[in-house]
Amino acid sequence: MSIAPGWGHLVLRLVVGAIFVAHGLPMLVPVLGGSPAAAAAILESSGLSPGYPLALVGGLIVAAGGFALIVGAFTTIAAAALSTVVIVAAWKVHLAHGFYLNWRLAPGVGHGYEYDLALVGALVCLVLAGPGRISLDERRARRREAAAAGRARLRSGSV
């Protein structure tokens, strides 16, 4: 039994969405020490080319998907798209470095895939459990239910 049903989804959406917005924006505009060119260079060095268009598309998916999670719009689609991006990043960049992050920041040693695994786990939870409270998806679902109930009343003649 949970203390506050549906509110955990909201917290998960806000936190994970903020992480993705913070990682996606630097891939699109030069903020927080990132740039599209820097993201393109990382993609090219990982064997993904053409780097610049992929950086822009990836940055757009990550930033827009993160924003969609924050507001709870198209949550399952956004979480699925973000999962795909994270899985590709884990496979092409982090898998070769093992499981753990490089906490010591040892030169020449990359980060492992543990962070990617945690993000994919959170995104899969959102796909399976839905957006939770205070989301545009929930509001849209309530409107559809109300409209369906109204049509049912009209058909039954009990208006």
pLDDT digit string (tens) for 39-70?
899 889 888 889 999 999 999 999 999 999 99
Q: Which helix (H) or strand (E) holds 104?
A: none
Burial level of 92, CB count in 10 A (0-12/13-18/19+)?
middle
| CB contact at 8 A, 60 and 66 | no
The Cβ-side half-sphere exposure at 88, using a 13 Å CA radius, reads 15
Query: Average pLDDT, whole number, for the chain?
Result: 90
Q: Who's near 128: CB < 8 A, 6+ residues apart?
A: none
Does the pLDDT at position 159 exceed 80?
no
Query: Residues 120-144: pLDDT tens digits?
Result: 999 999 999 999 888 999 888 888 8
Residues in the chain: 159
Token pair recorded at residue 88: 């590709």
At 60, the amino acid letter reads: L
Q: What are phi and psi of 50, to 5 degrees?
A: -75, 130
Total-model pTM? 0.86
